[in-house]
Structure 1
């Protein structure tokens, strides 16, 4: 428990510092984080059916996130994102030089990782650039609401959980925990609305509901992935907590959903 607590403290401090201290630190940290999470995904998904092209996939993911970051910072024109095309093409070409019974499974695994991991992190990055200049408050609010949802679900589920939410995929999750997560996420969003008025209160509340719903599904989807591959944790980089993908699984579905909502209403 002590190791888990210490790890959580430093993990929270690093994430918050990356968002608050500098736009460049924010961009670099989440680019490295997304690529590392992609590496964990490739490790999990590889099996006898197919193996992702790890190096090409990580290169394409890093290039895509880096180019998009450059676009957000105003350094790279939008059409430069097309520079990713040669790497994507290479993912299809490389299996021609390997003896694989079903090469397209490996191709699918490689591209799925980019869609499942890199694009959601890029969506989260976009939350800091909804205005003309970098504004830390929306990505910070997103992370705080996401953590509040996880905390509320864990505490309420542990104390009062009786009715299983999705027993086949995650036996420990309960409906009581889900409700507890939603309530704490809503309370957190109301506090954020008071201190960060660039979003209306109703927008913060809807954002909290989206994060609670899609964050829960994101957690379940990653649990489905691990269960199908008979893996307990995505990694061991965080002592007592597993891998980084385990800690950001809720972001993978909630990030694009929140970005879509805010782009619609702002």
Structure 2
């Protein structure tokens, strides 16, 4: 428990620091985080019969993250993202020469890793630049509401949880915890709306509901992945907490949807 607490405090401090230290620190940190998560994904799914193309996949992840990041960070055209097309084709070509028994499993996991572990962080990074320049309020608010949802779901689930939410993939989650997480996240959104004016109180509230709902679904999706592979944790990088994907499972589905929601509000 002590190790878990120390890791948790350090993790939160690093996350907050990456957001508050400015656009360069924020961009670099989430680039590193996305590539470490992608590498963790490849190590997680690698078995005797399935071997994703780790090095090529990481290169492909870079070619996805960097054009999107620099488009929002420095206004460079998204045309550079087209380099992903030949890189993705190269994944298929490379598999022709590997002589493995499950080539399309390897291709599928290589490409899925980029979608599952890099794209969500790209969308999260882009949140900070939606107002037109770097504003840490949006990613900070996102993280606070996500953490509030996780904490509320845990506390309400422990106290009142009786009705299983999705027992097949996560036997400990309950509907009572889910509702508690939504309520806690919404209350945090109300507090945030008093300090940050990029969004109205209603818009912050809607954002909190998206985060609480899809954050829970992202958690379930990551649990489904681990159960299908017969593992408990996605990795061991964070002592007492498991891997990066275990800590960011709530972001995997919520960040892209929150970005789409805010894009139509702020980029109009």
Q: TM-score range by the shorter chain?
A: over 0.9
How far off its partner does 1:25 sit? 0.4
Map of 1:201 onto structure 2: 201
Deviations 1:102-153 (A, max 9, x none): 3111111111111112111111111001122111100110011000000001
**What's the RMSD between the two structures over aligned residues?**
1.2
Report the equivalent of 2:81.
Answer: 81
Q: CA deviation at 1:76?
A: 3.1
Rounded Cα–Cα distance in structure 2 between residues aligned with 1:109 and 1:173: 28
Deviates more, 1:48-57 or 1:180-189: 48-57
Moved more, 120-129 or 93-102: 93-102
Cα distance in 2 for partners of 1:82, 1:126 equals 18
1:152 maps to 152
> Is 2:141 the counterpart of 1:112?
no
Aligned match of 1:16: 16
Confirm or deny: 8 A CA contact 2:72 2:130 kept in the other structure: no
Does structure 1 retain, via aligned residues, the 8 Å contact 2:38–2:58?
A: yes
Matched, 1:35 2:35: yes
In the alignment, the residues of structure 1 paired with residue 70 and residue 205 of structure 2 have an alpha-carbon distance, to the nearest angstrom, of 31
Q: CA deviation at 1:49?
A: 4.7
Which region of structure 1 is more displaced relative to structure 2, 58-67 or 163-172? 58-67
- For 2:235, the equivalent position in structure 1 comes to 235
Gaps in structure 1 of 5+ consecutive residues: none
- Aligned pair count? 266
Q: Distance in 2 between matches of 1:16 and 1:3?
A: 20
* Structure 2 unaligned blocks of 5 or more: none
Residues 25-55 of structure 1: CA deviation (Å, up to 9, x unaligned): 0000001101111111112222345221111
What TM-score, normalized to structure 2?
0.96
User: After superposition, what is the alpha-carbon deviation per residue over 1:184-224, rounded to whole angstroms, capped at 9, x for unaligned?
Assistant: 00000000111011101110000000000000000000000
Cα separation, 2, equivalents of 1:240 and 1:193:
34
Which residue of 1 is the match for residue 93 of structure 2? 93
